[in-house]
Amino acid sequence: MLSLMTVEQKISIFFKRMPAPIRLRELIRTIRTARTQAEEREMIQKECAAIRSSFREEDNTYRCRNVAKLLYMHMLGYPAHFGQLECLKLIASQKFTDKRIGYLGAMLLLDERQDVHLLMTNCIKNDLNHSTQYVQGLALCTLGCMGSSEMCRDLAGEVEKLLKTSNSYLRKKAALCAVHVIRKVPELMEMFLPATKNLLNEKNHGVLHTSVVLLTEMCERSPDMLAHFRKNEKLVPQLVRILKNLIMSGYSPEHDVSGISDPFLQVRILRLLRILGRNDDDSSEAMNDILAQVATNTETSKNVGNAILYETVLTIMDIKSESGLRVLAINILGRFLLNNDKNIRYVALTSLLKTVQTDHNAVQRHRSTIVDCLKDLDVSIKRRAMELSFALVNGNNIRGMMKELLYFLDSCEPEFKADCASGIFLAAEKYAPSKRWHIDTIMRVLTTAGSYVRDDAVPNLIQLITNSVEMHAYTVQRLYKAILGDYSQQPLVQVAAWCIGEYGDLLVSGQCEEEEPIQVTEDEVLDILESVLISNMSTSVTRGYALTAIMKLSTRFTCTVNRIKKVVSIYGSSIDVELQQRAVEYNALFKKYDHMRSALLERMPVMEKVTTNGPTEIVQTNGETDPTPLETKPPPSGPQPTSQANDLLDLLGGNDITPVIPTAPTSKPASAGGELLDLLGDINLTGAPAAAPAPASVPQISQPPFLLDGLSSQPLFNDIATGIPSITAYSKNGLKIEFTFERSNTNPSVTVITIQASNSTELDMTDFVFQAAVPKTFQLQLLSPSSSIVPAFNTGTITQVIKVLNPQKQQLRMRIKLTYNHKGSAMQDLAEVNNFPPQSWQ
Amino acid sequence: MIKFFLMVNKQGQTRLSKYYEHVEINKRTLLETEVIKSCLSRSSEQCSFIEYKDFKLIYRQYAALFIVVGVNDTENEMAIYEFIHNFVEVLDDYFSRVLRYSAV
């Protein structure tokens, strides 16, 4: 350990005095010999104790040494707060060596959080006016490093004075100190303005550099300053001149770094030019020449040159430069990409990413190099290359790019796969040259990175597949083959299960045109679906998909219905609640509602593109577009399905919406909705024409396109508020429609309207359909009517219930459309109902 | 803006540290170990700029010593890279060979 003892120490031991403290160098050497952390800590604690007792003795001679050791230990991470006062004492001393350590200690140990620091202010003030420039320099350094706002306010005047001296050593330090003062107390900025006038006339590079830093700080902080410097000071020409001198001047040994004269100053000036030229045409024009000159004349063989070029490119991109200059900049970046040095490639990719939005075509030229960077070993480079590649994909290069990207997806690290997969889907959706290519690409992604695909991709994919009608057979065949081998990747299995459920008949019948059809029997298909159900790797959601798919196949397959029944009934007692519910409901479908089964499980219609801006269009999204734990409920007991979900509408502040098994599409499913939409303009439509289930005796059903979730679970007439007068909404050609109102006390935005249709003519009106539309701020639900025949001579009425949700309590308005057959001809009428009593909606 | 400047050896011992923003003393050691871990795990094939939390690290290796500078977004990484080398050259000139050995 302490094997070296100086003569001093031996003497002091001889005289039985406190041994002189060891030197810093020895301390460092000693600490380095420690082999473990504990040993080091022990040594340091011992030394700290010695230092503390030495401080208590007020020993002036060795204070500086002790504080130096303390600073070293602080740097290693040990607490050293007891040295703060000692630093102050050192600062106050007259010896330069003491002052030096004192100021250093102040910079490291003190900051504005400690109360002691204010005691320094007076010392610093005196030292700023000291006769020796080195002492002044120390004071400036310390103030610029840790000065608090109070200190800065007090001493700013002194700093400003020093900024104007002719001593370049002091001037440069004063400039940096001024930067700190401005950061702490922005109001003092104006004080330094006059001093900056002459700063750039210096020859000394140190002063130039720090002045540019000061000017940069001022311009960044205050737009007024920025404007001032642009106009009055003619800063840009000055900077251009300095930069030109730097480039044109010959070799200067003082400032040379690998052949370039003071690159650090050049970079700083370029940065300041960037700030000055941003959004300003005049300044930008003044700098065009010099930027072009720098860009062409700088040597690129060394890193230094490249650093300057990088800064130049950033500046060119940021100011309002002319297009020739911009192309030059992008070409420089392209050259960087070909460089062997990783750092330069990284920097180039980062900058290209920033510019690809504005200068798309120019960047396209370097596409092949960028794509090559995908194969680089470095993670940061790969990520940048991937982002850039996605930005560059367009209709022309989609096929080539996609090949590269898919190859990248295969080989990249897992952290990239999710982003890459999403990017590929987006790009494919925008630019797919053909449906088959699109589906192939999706299949490829699902098979290679299936487990990394984001959850929202699955419904999008399903929608895409449904919409490409001619590819159904091909798609289902490929999906089937994909999961035959491996059903562990959940998104893939989900999409495959859904497709098999929908298009299983095409699979079995071997109808594929695009590819060799494979021979699959119904049992094999059911085998694979069942194994998905059983497998441990399948999540609950996937199992739900599989079960529903099996159920759907019961209508498409002919020989295996019994097997399906068996499977479904087994899961009726599954532990998983979701599966159990589905199985029980499907079982019910087999038993009690077998007549409806084929209608319910028919093919899905083409889905409209789901938009996210609220109820502006009808979407017949009947089915599992949202397969999260939301159930697909078959109709509850009772012959009429009462509701269909519209997953566009976020009802009642975000209640879950329940999608519903599809009803059989009639001859005019979406189109009828469409024509009504045309007729009724911007008013929201309810009551799309009914799908008549098989038995004709079941009365016609009007299908409201969405479910008022909160309402349907409540009983219809809830805390009836009586006393709202009823109105005659329509009376023409013998048909009269009356509205009676009820308000719910539990939910004051709900109005329940009961319509009664009566017929005073001598012939019955048959096939009566009532439809209603309300303005966008309302929501409507139409329940099933009591019948579709309005008997003649007012002998009976059709009753139907309408529920209106009026959250904004606006005046109720409604347009109604009536269609019926009368006297052998089809009648149709539109009317507007405006005479709603105020109590019905207020 | 430079946030901090570190000289750390391969074993993770800090030889020099200067912080330009206040960081708690116990957080400093943590920061230093994390930083040196990410620098050590890079091979010579990879580039010298790492993204770490909300700043960038620029590091350079000299024998068994790593010099790491933490900067925020506004800095030119390559200029800082040059700066590190400049710093080492200055130290070399000023203290001659002695320092290189002692620092390591």
Q: What is the pLDDT of residues A396-442, one digit of tens each?
A: 888 888 888 888 888 888 878 888 888 888 888 888 888 888 888 88
Mutation site for B-interface testing, chosen from A32, A33, A107, A267 by largest number of B Cβ within 10 Å:
A267
Q: What pLDDT digit, counting tens, does each position of B2-22 carry?
A: 889 998 888 878 888 888 888
Task: Judge whether B73 is closer than 8 Å to chain A, CB to CB.
Answer: no
Instruction: Report CA-CA distances (Å) from A576 to A532, A572, A631, A831.
Output: 15, 10, 13, 51
pLDDT of residue A616: 36
Task: Judge whether B50 is closer than 8 Å to chain A, CB to CB.
Answer: yes
Q: Is-contact A463 A605, C-beta < 8 A?
A: no
One-letter identity of residue A482: A
Task: Judge whether A307 is closer than 8 Å to chain B, CB to CB.
Answer: yes
Does pLDDT of A770 surpass 60? yes
Query: Residues of B with CB below 8 A from A345's CB?
Result: 47
> In angstroms, how far is CA A276 from the centroid of its own chain?
32
Q: What pLDDT digit, counting tens, does each position of A437-456 carry?
A: 888 888 888 888 877 888 77
Task: Judge whether A378 is closer than 8 Å to chain B, CB to CB.
Answer: yes
Name the A residues in 63-82 with CB < 8 Å from any B CB. 74-77, 79
For B47, which of A264, A271, A342 is closest by C-beta distance? A342
Does pLDDT of A9 surpass 60? yes
A596 or A8: which leads in pLDDT: A596
Residue among B27, B6, B19 nearest A146 (CA): B19
Per-residue confidence band for A618, with pLDDT thresholds at 50, 70 and 90: very low
Task: Judge whether B49 is closer than 8 Å to chain A, CB to CB.
Answer: yes
Does pLDDT of A269 surpass 50? yes
Q: Do B45 and A347 touch (CB under 8 A)?
A: no
End-to-end CA distance of chain A: 91
Q: What pLDDT digit, counting tens, does each position of A804-815 carry?
A: 888 777 788 888
Q: Which helix (DSSP H) or strand (DSSP E) does residue A283 occupy? A: helix A281-297
Query: Residues of A with CB below 8 A from B82's CB?
Result: 257, 263-264, 303-304, 307
Q: Do B78 and A380 touch (CB under 8 A)?
A: no
Nearest CA in chain A to B60: A343
Q: Do B14 and A76 touch (CB under 8 A)?
A: yes
For B78, which of A113, A347, A379 is closest by C-beta distance? A347
Q: Do B82 and A307 touch (CB under 8 A)?
A: yes
pLDDT of residue A632: 38
| Neighbouring residues of A620: CB distance < 8 A, sequence distance ≥ 6 | A605, A607, A608, A669, A670, A673, A688, A705
Query: Residues of B with CB below 8 A from A142's CB?
Result: none
| Neighbouring residues of A150: CB distance < 8 A, sequence distance ≥ 6 | A118, A121
Q: Is-contact A425 A437, C-beta < 8 A?
A: no
A253 or A650: which leads in pLDDT: A253
For B82, which of A263, A345, A381 is closest by C-beta distance? A263
Residue whose entry in the numeric block shows the structure tokens 């479908």? A589
Mutation site for B-interface testing, chosen from A25, A74, A264, A339 by largest number of B Cβ within 10 Å:
A264
Q: How far is B50 from chain A (nearest CA, A)?
A: 8
Q: How far is B86 from chain A (nearest CA, A)?
A: 8
Give the predicted TM-score (pTM) of the model. 0.63
Task: Judge whether A348 is closer than 8 Å to chain B, CB to CB.
Answer: no
Of A89-98, A202-211, B13-22, B80-89, which range is least confident? Answer: B13-22
Q: What value does the mean pLDDT take over residues B68-72?
A: 90
Task: Judge whether A306 is closer than 8 Å to chain B, CB to CB.
Answer: yes
Distance CA A470, CA A226 (A): 63
Q: Do B47 and A346 touch (CB under 8 A)?
A: yes
Nearest CA in chain A to B90: A257
Instruction: Report CA-CA distances (Å) from A177 to A102, A156, A590.
Output: 18, 9, 85
A659 or A9: which leads in pLDDT: A9
Task: Judge whether A227 is closer than 8 Å to chain B, CB to CB.
Answer: no
Does pLDDT of A173 surpass 90? yes
Q: How far is B97 from chain A (nearest CA, A)?
A: 16
Q: Do A267 and B29 touch (CB under 8 A)?
A: no
Mean of pLDDT over chain A: 78
Q: How far is A103 from chain B (nearest CA, A)?
A: 15
Instruction: Report CA-CA distances (Å) from A531 to A324, A477, A537, A550, A579.
Output: 64, 18, 10, 12, 15
Q: Do B78 and A303 touch (CB under 8 A)?
A: yes
Q: Is-contact A300 A335, C-beta < 8 A?
A: yes
Query: Residues of B with CB below 8 A from A380's CB?
Result: 46-47, 49-51
Q: Do A303 and B81 touch (CB under 8 A)?
A: yes
φ/ψ (deg, to 5) at A738: -115, 140
CA angle A187, A188, A189 (to 5 degrees): 95
Residue among A47, A45, A135 nearest A90 (CA): A135
Query: Residues of A with CB below 8 A from B81's CB?
Result: 303, 307, 343
φ/ψ (deg, to 5) at A601: -100, 20
Mutation site for A-interface testing, chosen from B6, B76, B88, B99 by largest number of A Cβ within 10 Å:
B76
The yes/no answer to whether this complex scores an ipTM above 0.95 is no
Per-residue confidence band for A8, with pLDDT thresholds at 50, 70 and 90: low
pLDDT of residue A791: 84
Does pLDDT of A713 surpass 70? no
Task: Judge whether B48 is closer than 8 Å to chain A, CB to CB.
Answer: yes
Distance CA B49, CA B32 (A): 16
Q: What pLDDT digit, counting tens, does each position of A112-156 carry?
A: 777 777 888 888 998 998 889 999 999 999 999 888 888 889 999
Q: Do A345 and B47 touch (CB under 8 A)?
A: yes
For B49, which of A28, A346, A377 is closest by C-beta distance? A346
Of A263-267, A368-372, A624-628, B58-62, which range is least confident? Answer: A624-628
Task: Judge whether A12 is closer than 8 Å to chain B, CB to CB.
Answer: no
Q: How far is B29 from chain A (nearest CA, A)?
A: 6
Does pLDDT of A294 surpass 50? yes
Q: Do B79 and A311 touch (CB under 8 A)?
A: yes
Helices A281-297 and A263-277, packing angle to 10 deg:
150
pLDDT of residue A178: 93
Of A84-93, A131-140, B42-51, which range is least confident? Answer: B42-51
Mutation site for B-interface testing, chosen from A260, A346, A375 by largest number of B Cβ within 10 Å:
A346
Q: Do A377 and B28 touch (CB under 8 A)?
A: no
Q: Do A307 and B48 touch (CB under 8 A)?
A: no
Q: Do A307 and B81 touch (CB under 8 A)?
A: yes
Task: Judge whether B87 is closer than 8 Å to chain A, CB to CB.
Answer: no
User: What count of CB pairs under 8 Å joins A to B?
Assistant: 71
Task: Judge whether B38 is closer than 8 Å to chain A, CB to CB.
Answer: no
Instruction: Report CA-CA distances (Å) from A333 to A247, A274, A304.
Output: 21, 18, 15
Q: Do A306 and B77 touch (CB under 8 A)?
A: no
Q: Is-contact A837 A784, C-beta < 8 A?
A: no
Helices A149-163 and A133-146, packing angle to 10 deg:
140
pLDDT of residue A271: 92
Does pLDDT of A485 surpass 70? yes
For B45, which of A271, A346, A378 is closest by C-beta distance? A378
CA angle A275, A276, A282 (to 5 degrees): 140
Task: Judge whether B79 is closer than 8 Å to chain A, CB to CB.
Answer: yes
Q: What pLDDT digit, counting tens, does each position of B79-91 carry?
A: 899 999 988 888 8
Task: Judge whether A1 is closer than 8 Å to chain B, CB to CB.
Answer: no
Nearest CA in chain A to B50: A380
Instruction: Report CA-CA distances (Å) from A798 to A437, A730, A762, A786, A792.
Output: 54, 14, 16, 6, 12
For A79, which of B16, B25, B45 is closest by C-beta distance? B25
pLDDT of residue A214: 92
Distance CA A230, CA A278 (A): 11
pLDDT of residue A211: 92
Task: Judge whether A41 is closer than 8 Å to chain B, CB to CB.
Answer: no
